[in-house]
């Protein structure tokens, strides 16, 4: 990895969890950071912590599933830093219910954040990246988008959609010098897992050859690699980081 000095990176859902870890990893590589999250205070806190460590960082409130928010995120980044080199579409929500109890509202909410948000934010930064003739988009998918899971229809569909969108954009944007990849993590130790009951978690762990969930520090460096000079021959990849859950 040769670093991201002088580069500008936007990470959505960066107020906590995997997104925060990714923001810290990209900042450690030298990138100026836009910390975007629907949790405005959380985004500000992470931006302040990065700034305290000497990183140029800006917290931006955004609901990635809202078109005007995604546009504003791109504009705010350009106003502050003059370019966009990296977009990490990490913001996501999970919702668990059997198919027959899944309401259309719940389905639409998950799809809006987890899939439409990736489309909207990518579309918002693409004109700048095309004009620059360079850029990297990394999407956070999921191994559940590869293997499926009961009671998670909307989440699995959205994440499978993210993987398909990744490949479509990789082909479309490659002629403009833009690479597009995804990571597909297995279960990661963040707040998104707090609603998973002990029995379900035991069943999940029994199916993972490494026998444990991942830590954020085991996912963020993979995103940093894809975003940096070390990852220049990756495009259209969905990188499986699942402890062997999917193979």
CA distance 188 to 20: 13
**Residues making up the chain, counted from first to last:** 247
23 binds ligand NAD (CB under 6 A): no
Contact with ligand NAD (CB under 6 A) among 51, 93, 149, 205: 93
92 binds ligand NAD (CB under 6 A): yes
**188, 213 contact by CB (below 8 A):** yes
Please identify which of the residues 91, 128, 155, 180 carries the catalytic annotation: 155
Name residues whose C-beta falls within 8 Å of residue 105's C-beta, 6 or more positions apart in sequence: none
**Selected range binding ligand NAD among 56-64, 78-86, 119-127, 163-171, rule: CB under 6 A:** 56-64
CB of residue 158 vs ligand NAD: minimum separation in angstroms?
Answer: 8
**84, 126 contact by CB (below 8 A):** no
**Selected range binding ligand NAD among 44-52, 130-138, 171-179, 183-191, rule: CB under 6 A:** 183-191
185 binds ligand NAD (CB under 6 A): yes
59 binds ligand NAD (CB under 6 A): no
CA distance 30 to 192: 28
Question: Catalytic annotation on 155?
Answer: yes
* Residues near ligand NAD (CB under 6 A), total: 30
CB of residue 61 vs ligand NAD: minimum separation in angstroms?
Answer: 8
135 binds ligand NAD (CB under 6 A): no
**116, 161 contact by CB (below 8 A):** no
Q: For ligand NAD, which is the closer residue by CB, 4 or 208? A: 208
Q: For ligand NAD, which is the closer residue by CB, 92 or 231? A: 92
3-state SS track over 114-169: HHHHHHHHHHHHHHHHHHHCCEEEEEECCCHHHHCCCCCHHHHHHHHHHHHHHHHH
Mapped onto helix, strand or coil, the DSSP state of residue 229 is: helix
CB of residue 246 vs ligand NAD: minimum separation in angstroms?
Answer: 11
63 binds ligand NAD (CB under 6 A): yes
6: left (phi over 0), alpha (psi -120 to 50) or beta: left
19 binds ligand NAD (CB under 6 A): yes
* Site of interaction with ligand NAD (CB under 6 A): 12-13, 15-19, 37-39, 42, 62-65, 90-94, 113, 140, 142, 185, 187-188, 190-193
């Amino acid at each position: 990895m040769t670093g991201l000095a002088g580069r500008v990176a936007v990470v959505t859902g960066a107020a906590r969890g995997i997104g925060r870890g990714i923001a810290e990893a990209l900042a450690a590589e030298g990138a100026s950071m836009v910390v975007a999250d629907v949790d405005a205070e959380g985004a500000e806190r992470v931006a302040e912590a990065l700034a305290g460590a000497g990183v140029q960082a800006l917290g931006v409130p955004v609901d990635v599933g809202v078109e005007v928010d995604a546009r504003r995120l791109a504009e705010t980044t350009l106003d502050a830093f003059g370019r966009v080199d990296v977009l990490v579409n990490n913001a996501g929500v999970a919702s668990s219910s059997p198919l027959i109890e899944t309401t259309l509202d719940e389905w639409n909410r998950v799809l809006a954040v987890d899939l439409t948000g990736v489309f909207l934010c990518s579309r918002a930064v693409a004109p700048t990246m095309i004009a620059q003739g360079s850029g990297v988009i990394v999407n956070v998918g999921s191994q559940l988008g590869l293997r499926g899971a009961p009671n998670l229809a909307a989440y699995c569909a959205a994440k499978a959609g993210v993987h398909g969108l990744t490949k479509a954009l990789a082909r479309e944007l490659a002629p403009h010098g833009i690479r597009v990849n995804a990571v597909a993590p297995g279960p990661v130790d963040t707040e998104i897992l707090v609603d998973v009951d002990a029995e379900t978690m035991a069943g999940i762990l029994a199916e993972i050859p490494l026998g444990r969930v991942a830590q954020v520090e085991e996912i963020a460096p993979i995103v940093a690699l894809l975003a940096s000079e070390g990852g220049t021959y990756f495009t259209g990849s969905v990188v499986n980081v699942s402890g062997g859950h999917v193979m």
